[in-house]
Amino acid sequence: MILKVNNLHKKYQHADGVINALDQINFEVKEGAFVTITGSSGSGKTTLLLSLAGLIKATSGEIYFRDFRIDKANDKELSDFRKNHVGFVMQTFALIPYLTAIENVMLPLAVSRLPDSQKYEAAMDLLKLVGLENRKNHLPKELSAGQQQRVAIARALINKPSLILADEPTGNLDPVLSKEILDLLSDINKKQGITVLMVTHSPMAARYGTIQIQLQDGKINSIT
């Protein structure tokens, strides 16, 4: 089991009263699963993803990554957890505009003690994996939206994570490019055994999940 969530709650105080962003969330994820999380706007999808990453603190409940207790960890432990185990793929790509494709992929290795030659080689291998080795010296503005997301996926893989957290990774892409990105994530999941948790509003994207979780008003409506 790579993830286990027990009775997770997240409450926000609002002028109109208490908002239950997450309410009694319980589920488990086995190593190598592809999990899709769907729901309408405000259903709690992104709050759940950020809680799993340790980027926001739950009000109560338990989150386990293997034997590591995310909800009880301090900032240093959470930073190490994300650095060593998690790759992020965002809707906005989050590429540094003045860095080339290969420099963006290498960025998470900036504090690594690996020789520069090894960092470069690792980044090139990942650009080859996503089919962009011939665009290694291009800036983000010189790449299409689909190519930028491929660079972002390569960057997410550079630290050899066991878990990818993807927040609407196809939200800025047309249907054809969306399928290309989803096929790539699915291929990485199957061939490398990396567990994927993906928040999406797209029914087509949700079908890629071996586990499909639907949220409604902060609660799990269904798990299939």
Q: How many CB atoms lie within 10 A of CB 89?
A: 23
Question: Domain with 45 in it: what CATH number?
Answer: 3.40.50.300
How many domains does one find in the chain? Answer: 1
How far apart are alpha carbons 77 and 179 in whole angstroms?
Answer: 36
* Number of alpha carbons in the 13 Å side-chain half-sphere of residue 161: 28
Whole-prediction pTM: 0.92
Q: Please give the residue range of the domain that contains residue 209.
A: 3-223
Q: pLDDT tens digits for the chain (224 residues)?
A: 999 999 999 998 877 778 889 999 999 999 999 999 999 888 899 999 999 999 999 999 999 999 999 999 999 999 999 999 999 999 888 899 999 999 999 999 888 888 889 999 999 999 999 999 999 999 999 999 999 999 999 999 999 999 999 999 998 888 999 999 999 999 999 999 999 999 999 999 999 999 999 999 999 999 99
- Nearest one of 148, 115, 3 to 66, comparing CA atoms: 3
